Amino acid sequence: MNMMSAARRKLVVIGNGMAGMRTVEEILHRAPGMFEITVFGAEAQPNYDRIMLSPLLAGDKNFEQIVLNSLEWYAEHNIRLIAGEAVTTIDRAHHTVTGEHGTVVKYDYLLLATGSNPFVLPLPGVERPGVMTFRSVSDVEKMLSIAAPGKSAVVIGGGLLGLEAAHGLNLRGMEVSVVHLMPTLMERQLDASAAHLLERALTARGMTIYTGANTESFDGEGEHGAVHSVTLKDGRRIPADLVVMAVGIRPNANLAKASGIATDRGVLVDDAMRTSDPAIFAIGECVEHNKQCYGLVAPIWDMAKVAADHICGAAQSGFMPVASGTRLKVSGIEMFSAGAFMGDKSTEDVILRDAARGIYKRLVLRDDRLVGIVCFGDARDAGWYFQLLKDEAPLGDLRDTMIFGPVMAAGDPHEALAQMPDNAEICGCNGVKKSTICNAIAAHELCTVEDVRARTKASASCGSCTGLVEGLLKLSLGENYTPDAVKPMCKCTSHGHDEVRRRIKGGALKTIPAVMQALEWTTPNGCASCRPALNFYLLAAWPGEYVDDAQSRFVNERMHANIQKDGTYSVIPRMWGGTTTAGELRAIADVVDKFNIPAVKVTGGQRIDMLGVKKEDLCAVWQDLNEAGLVSGHAYGKSLRTVKTCVGSEWCRFGVQDSTAMGVALEKATWGSWHPHKVKLAVSGCPRNCAEATIKDFGVVATEAGWDLHVGGNGGIKVRATELLCKVTTEEEVMEYACAFLQLYRMEARYLERTAPWIERAGLKYVQERIVDNAELRRSLFEDFLHAQKFAQTDPWAQEATSPALGKKFNAMAELV
C-alpha cells in the first residue's frame, strides 16, 4: 500500500534561492515526506550562497564551493527541480502555477520566494554592453569576462554590496573607482568616523572613492557601443571598461501582484509569513512585513522557520524581527555594525579611537542597555557586543570596561573565551562561530590550528583570529593540546614563514613596514634574514603592485652581480639554452680586454663567467655587453638561473626531440622570475640525458613519445635526483607544466628553500594533485606565472646602465685625499 503518497500534499516553491530552499530544509526537518515538493528556479544553477558572490568574484572561491544544495540533494529528497524556468502565472482558483515553458504544476500550498531585483538607474547609456548589476552568478561571469588587470571598473554605489564588488574587481587587478551618492560610504551601516577610516583603507588598496557624487551618464562609442567612461553630474569623467550598479534592491513582487495577492513595496505577509491568500506563503527579500523589507540573511532564516512551522502545522510561531549585524566581506578590513549605531538624543556613546592604527569602536547605550555597535579596524569583540545587544540586559559595571572587550571584562582571556556564547563569531572573514569550531574539534578529533582551518575555514583568511582558535583548542583539549612548534622566521618575529605569507595575502599587506606593523615585529626594521624574505613574499603576492625594496635585497641582487671574497664581482650574461654566437663571444672578449678582467671561466650552467670586475666598472661592462645583445643571466639571484640543454635531434644521432629549442623557449618564458631560492632547469633530447636534467629543479627528458617531466632535483651539498612528475606529449604542455610548477613553488615554498626540500616536505603527491590531476588549477597557476612575468622581465643591467640615479650606488659619493 502506498498510503503516504496518496496522502501527500503538494507544495510548490517559486524561487530556488537561499530563502526558499532554507524553508524547504526546515520543512523536511519538521515533517520528512509530508509534501510532494516542486521547486521552480529562474536561474539554471542549483541553489547557491548569494552572500558568497563577492568571494566568487574575488577568486577566493569557485562555484562548487558556494553551492548550498547540489542537484544530488534535490534527488535525494525527491524534490522536483525545474531550473531555468520562471513562473509566469498563478491560477489561484484552480491552485496551479504555469512556467514560461508551459510546465503546469498543481499545489496545495504555494511558497513565494522570488527574492529581489537589483535597482537599475534609469540613466542615459544604461543599456550599453559593460554596464551591469551584481546579483547573480551570471552577473559575476559577465564581470569576469571583462575584468583584466589594468582595465578600469566603476562601481556605482558605496554600500555593502558595491564595496564588495569593488574589492573583488580590485583583487582582479582592475583600476577601481567607487561612485557614491551620499557624503560617506556605507551610511546605512557606519557613522561618519568609521566611514572615513573605511574610505582611507580602500584608498590605500588603490581604489578611488568619489563621495557625494551623482552619476550623469554611461558613455561609449556611438549609440550602442560598449561603455568606456562614466560622466558625473559635475562634469568629471571616469574611464570605465566595466560599470557595476549596486545601488540597492527592490522586492520582486510582480508575480504576486499580477495574481491578485496583496502587495505594497513587497508581498504583504502576516506574522505567520502568510499572504492575503491563505494557501500562499511568502518569504525572503520579496516580502514586506510590518512595512519593513529585508535584505540580510539572519532575519530571513527566522522567516524560514516560521513559514515551515505553519506550512507543516507544527507550531504557531510568529516572525519577530530582531537586530542583525552587518559585516563587510573584504579581507583585511574588519568592520561590524548593528542596531541603532547612529544614536540619538536618548542615547549615550562609549567610544574608543586609535586613528593611527585605524581602529574605531563606538557602543551606543540607552537606559543602561547596549542598543548600537560600530566597530572598525578591530571587530574581534563584535560577536560579544552583539550578544550583549540581543540580550538587552542591563550593563551595570560592565559599562566601565566593555569597550575593551570580553577579555578585559572577564579579567582572564582564557575565561573570556570560555564565557563567550556558542554562537559568537570567532572568524569574521569566514563567518565561523565558536560552536562550529568546538563541534568540529570534537567530531573530527582535530588537534592543531591547521586542522581547524582545513575543516572549518576559521582563521584561514586574514588570520587575525588565530589566537582565538588556539584558545578554543586549549579549552576543548585541555592538557592534550600541544601546539605545533612553528619555527619563527627569525628572531624579529614569533611567526613562521607560512603564517607570514598567509597574513600578507589575507590582510592585503603590501609593504614591508605594513607587514611588520600588522604582525607585530619586535625590531624596527627587521634583520638581514627576514627583510629579503618579506621582500620576496610581497613581490610574489602582489605582482605589478609591490615596489621592490632594493635595501632589502642581498648585495648580489642589489648589484646584479656576484660579490667575491675580495669585494669584486663576477658578471655572467645569459646564454639562452647554453647557445651563443661569434658576435657574443667577441663582445665578451673585448670587455675582458677593455676592463682588464683577471679571470674568465665556463660555468656549470653553460655560460661564461667574468671574474674580478670592480664595482665601479660594473655599469660600463654591462653597457658594452648590452650593445652586443647580452643581458643579465641572474646568476646572482634567488631566481631562474639557467636552462641547460644538449644539442638534441638537430645534431645528435640519438636525439629524438629538439631539446635546444625547447630549452631556449623555456628560458625565454621564465627568465627574470624571482623564487624562494635559485632555480635551474634542463632539457635533454633523449633518455641518455646529457643535460643532466634529473638533478635539476625542473628537468625535461625527451622520449620517442614526447617528454618526461622531472621535479625536485639538485646537485650541491646534498645531491637529490628528481622524481617523475608526469609524461606529456607536446611542447605547449611542457611549457604549461613547467610554468605552473614554478608558480606553485614560488607561492608555497619558504624563502631559501629549494624545490628538493620543499617537495620532500609537501610530498610529490601534493604537487601532482595540483599540477597533473587538476587541469583547471594548473591553467590558473600558468596564467598567474605569465601575469607576474609581465612585470619581471626587465633586464636589470640595461636599467642600471641607463639610469644615472640608479647607477650612483656603484660609485663613491665623495673622494677625500
Partner 1 sequence: MDGMRIARDFVDIGALAEIPRLGARTVTTGMGDIAIFRTADDRVFALRDQCPHKQGPLSQGIVHGASVTCPLHNWVISLESGQAQGLDKGCAPHFAVKVEDGRVLLALGVPA
The residue ranges that bind partner 1 (CB under 8 A) are 523-528, 531-532, 550-552, 554-556, 558-559, 563, 565, 567, 808-809, 812-817
Alpha-carbon gap, residue 360 to 381, rounded angstroms: 12
Q: Which is nearer to partner 1, 565 or 718 (CB)?
A: 565
Helix spans in 527-679 (H): 530-541, 555-559, 582-594, 618-627, 659-670
Cβ atoms 300, 18 nearer than 8 A: yes
Would you state the cell numbers that stand for residue 641, as one nine-digit string?
638561473
DSSP assignment, residue 263? B
Alpha-carbon gap, residue 561 to 264, rounded angstroms: 74
Give the 3-state secondary structure of residue 790. helix
How many Å is the Cα radius of gyration of the chain?
A: 31
Q: Which is nearer to partner 1, 487 or 565 (CB)?
A: 565
Q: Which is nearer to partner 1, 338 or 534 (CB)?
A: 534
Phi then psi for 326, rounded to 5 degrees?
A: -120, 135
Q: Which residues 6+ apart lie within 8 Å of 500 measured at CB?
A: 489, 493, 515, 519, 533, 534, 537
Beta bridge partners of 132: 244
DSSP assignment, residue 191? -
Phi then psi for 134, rounded to 5 degrees?
A: -130, 90
Q: How far apart are CB 636 and partner 1 at their closest, in Å? A: 12
Phi then psi for 32, rounded to 5 degrees?
A: -60, 135
Q: Which is nearer to partner 1, 134 or 537 (CB)?
A: 537
Q: Which residues 6+ apart lie within 8 Å of 453 measured at CB?
A: 459, 460, 469
Helix spans in 478-559 (H): 497-506, 512-518, 530-541, 555-559
Tell me which residue of 105, 44, 47 sits closest to 74, measured CA to CA: 47
Q: How far apart are CB 556 and partner 1 at their closest, in Å? A: 8
Q: Which is nearer to partner 1, 632 or 684 (CB)?
A: 632
Cβ atoms 169, 54 nearer than 8 A: no
Q: Give the full edge-to-edge strand order of the sheet including 227-232.
A: 215-220, 227-232, 237-239
Give the 3-state secondary structure of residue 683. strand
Q: Which is nearer to partner 1, 491 or 779 (CB)?
A: 491
Q: Which is nearer to partner 1, 265 or 491 (CB)?
A: 491
Q: How far apart are CB 617 and partner 1 at their closest, in Å? A: 15
Q: Which is nearer to partner 1, 125 or 526 (CB)?
A: 526
Q: Which is nearer to partner 1, 455 or 558 (CB)?
A: 558
Alpha-carbon gap, residue 248 to 242, rounded angstroms: 18
Q: How far apart are CB 587 and partner 1 at their closest, in Å? A: 27
Q: How far apart are CB 535 and partner 1 at their closest, in Å? A: 10
Alpha-carbon gap, residue 176 to 153, rounded angstroms: 5
Q: How far apart are CB 542 and partner 1 at their closest, in Å? A: 20
Cβ atoms 329, 429 nearer than 8 A: yes
Q: How far apart are CB 492 and partner 1 at their closest, in Å? A: 9
Q: How far apart are CB 528 and partner 1 at their closest, in Å? A: 3
Q: How far apart are CB 814 and partner 1 at their closest, in Å? A: 4
Helix spans in 381-428 (H): 382-391, 398-401, 406-410, 413-419
Q: Which is nearer to partner 1, 48 or 537 (CB)?
A: 537
DSSP assignment, residue 425? E
Q: Which residues of 476-515 are buried (b: 16+ CB within 10 A; e: fewer)?
A: beeeebeeeeeeebbebbebbbebbbbbbbbbbbbebebb
Q: How far apart are CB 552 and partner 1 at their closest, in Å? A: 7
Q: Which is nearer to partner 1, 283 or 559 (CB)?
A: 559
Beta bridge partners of 87: 99
CA–CA distances in Å: residue 295 to residues 251, 287, 292, 568: 9, 10, 10, 68
Would you state the cell numbers that stand for residue 77, as one nine-digit string?
529528497
Q: How far apart are CB 393 and partner 1 at their closest, in Å? A: 50
Q: How far apart are CB 531 and partner 1 at their closest, in Å? A: 6
Q: Which is nearer to partner 1, 481 or 554 (CB)?
A: 554
Question: How far is C-alpha 173 from the chain's CA centre?
Answer: 12
Q: Which is nearer to partner 1, 102 or 524 (CB)?
A: 524
Cβ atoms 283, 19 nearer than 8 A: yes
Q: Which is nearer to partner 1, 240 or 635 (CB)?
A: 635
Q: Which is nearer to partner 1, 564 or 730 (CB)?
A: 564
Q: Which residues 6+ apart lie within 8 Å of 664 measured at CB?
A: 576, 577, 579, 643, 645
Return the amino acid letter for 293.
Answer: C
Q: How far apart are CB 536 and partner 1 at their closest, in Å? A: 14
Q: Is 80 left (phi over 0), alpha (psi -120 to 50) or beta?
A: beta
Q: How far apart are CB 612 and partner 1 at their closest, in Å? A: 15
Q: Which is nearer to partner 1, 6 or 813 (CB)?
A: 813
Q: Which is nearer to partner 1, 136 or 552 (CB)?
A: 552
Q: How far apart are CB 707 and partner 1 at their closest, in Å? A: 40
Q: Which is nearer to partner 1, 568 or 755 (CB)?
A: 568
Q: How far apart are CB 524 and partner 1 at their closest, in Å? A: 5
DSSP assignment, residue 772? I
Beta bridge partners of 263: 267
Q: How far apart are CB 575 and partner 1 at their closest, in Å? A: 27
Give the 3-state secondary structure of residue 365. strand
Q: How far apart are CB 522 and partner 1 at their closest, in Å? A: 11
CA–CA distances in Å: residue 147 to residues 135, 181, 478, 696, 792: 17, 24, 49, 37, 22
